[in-house]
Structure 1
Amino acid sequence: MVAGTWANDSNMQLEATTQFRKLLSIGSTEMPNAMETIFQAALALGRHGGV
């Protein structure tokens, strides 16, 4: 997407910018719960023999 915003083709720039706007739009993102993030990381480490 970053490369698309710097492209010489204005249609490609528009498409890339639209994708960024959709990705960053209010309401489409949710902050993960910190404990859930830690739990998921611990599970991933355990599966790979890190614990």
Structure 2
Amino acid sequence: MVDVMGNLAFGLLFALPAWFVWNDRASVVFVAFAAVAALFLDINLEPCSG
């Protein structure tokens, strides 16, 4: 199993300033998008052999 906590933590760390810059709804949407985008780094795009 892939450990995704490091990618998620860095994604949320980089999205943290959004909480202080934008209003509530925009910051929540941006942080959610950043969390999902951080998880895309673990997607393996190579086709399965077999």
State if a TM-score over 0.5 links the two structures.
no
Please indicate the TM-score interval, normalised by the length of the shorter structure.
0.3 to 0.5
Structure possessing the higher relative contact order (Cα contacts under 8 Å, 6 or more residues apart)? 2
TM-score under structure 2 normalisation? 0.38
